[in-house]
Amino acid sequence: MCYSAQIEADYDKFVRTYGAIISLKRFVELFWEKRKDGGWTKIPKAMREAFRKPHGEEGFELAKIVAEGDRELEEKLKAEHAAQTERLAKAEAVLASPKPTKKAAEDQRIAKKKIKAAERNLDDLLRREPEPDDSRIYPGSYAPVMIEKDGQRIVVPMRYQCRLPGWDEKLERKYPGTYNARRDKLEETWGKLFGHHHGIMIVTKFYENVSRHKMEGRELRPGEEEENVILEFDPQPPQEMLVACLWNMSPHGDHGTDLFSFAAITDEPPPEVIEAGHDRCIIPIKPEHIDPWLSPDPSNLEAQYAILDDRARPYYAHKLAA
């Protein structure tokens, strides 16, 4: 599984390097919807920041939505901080009284934790200097995905968790692992999308959950419990990887707005990823395969498998994620 990844959020680069058009209409719809439904933080900070300065009429609308969405989030975080500060004061008053309670001790612990989280999130929201994690996506968050329509490359914001054709929210909750598509299941589970709806996500690094003992190349010690760690995998030499994806559009699938969603295709990993303790890996395709990948012939799936097999092959250096 690809647990998370750092995406390319420089939209000018999509235009300059790949000749793509940015679907501002879809970005406006998504940003507006996420403001309305409380999912603003599902849009990575780097994606929002890219539209803070307006370009053209639709750009002004996007910049306005970004400013208002961030302001609303700031107000929400400040309200949370105030509520937890009050909760902490009440808990500490009880703990200082002749009759301290377990509930007060628990309230104190939770309030301190939530105060720190609110302060951290506020600092992150108000920070203007970019940091690498601003571009990091997780299952359920959104990323720019390049697709092709009528011979033109287009960049559309999509949710990193694909809602398969015919699915609804209830079925999606039952099968939450559709942010990745196994190569050996492309015709079985993903047959309505493979050969039809192909996309590319540009990634600079990716992250995986692994067991510590597997990362260290050993068996569990007697009495040792399995411990999860997160590894950061960096392609060497450093590069932008054109990650092969499948996507779908569910009409009126996100509170009335069309839901665009996608999955990254994964395959058996190279030796260095196996040695680090993980058993899957994303597939970066070569630049010369962009056009045939984005405009597949559903009657010739072998050509698509050939693209996946003739993949880019950087060396994946790894380290514990910060």
Which helix (H) or strand (E) element contains residue 253? strand 241-254
Q: Which residues contact 144 (CB under 8 A, 6 or more apart)?
A: 7, 8, 9, 11, 14, 47, 155, 156, 157, 158, 201, 202
Residue 58: pLDDT band (50, 70, 90) is: confident
Contact (Cβ atoms closer than 8 angstroms) between residue 142 and residue 159: yes
Distances (CA, A) of 169 to 66, 141, 173, 250: 27, 16, 6, 11
Give the tokens for residue 228: 């999860």
Q: Residue 138 CB: number of other CB atoms within 10 A?
A: 14
Tens digits of residue pLDDT in 268-315 = 999 999 999 999 999 999 999 999 999 999 999 999 999 999 999 999
- d(CA 9, CA 134) in angstroms, rounded, equals 9
Q: What is the pTM of this model?
A: 0.92
List pLDDT tens digits, range 148-157. Answer: 999 999 999 9
Instruction: Using the predicted structure, report yes or no on whether residue 233 has a pLDDT greater than 60.
Output: yes
